[in-house]
Amino acid sequence: MKIPKGKVATYGQIASICGLSGHARFVGYALHNVPPGVPVPWHRVINVRGRISFPNDSENYKRQKKLLLAERIVFSKEIIDLKKFGWKRF
């Protein structure tokens, strides 16, 4: 909930914040199971390579990319520059 608009965080980064270093997949599972209508900014969480984790041709990929583009996050060859758009918690 704290990832600001226009920034992204990685699954591993969120896992570390939650005290679960090394368990990035847990974050993915948790986000996958958020009930519809709960205002969790799931679209702001991407993988450590700066990519959306859904397959590029999937509806979920297209939805996540659309949400990120609406927040002015820029993609270059389907990659987000984590140095520029990555959330710096501290």
pLDDT digits (tens, 9 = 90+) for 53-74: 999 999 999 999 999 999 999 9
State the pLDDT confidence band at 81, using cuts at 50, 70 and 90: very high
pTM to 2 decimals?
0.92
CATH 1.20.1090.10 fits 9-85, yes or no: no
Q: Is the backbone of residue 74 left (phi > 0), alpha (psi -120 to 50) or beta?
A: beta
Query: Are β-strands 9-10 and 45-46 bridged in parallel, bridged antiparallel, or unpaired?
Result: parallel
Q: Is 57 exposed, middle or buried (CB count within 10 Å of its CB: 0-12, 13-18, 19+)?
A: exposed
> In the block, which residue shows the tokens 């390579």?
49
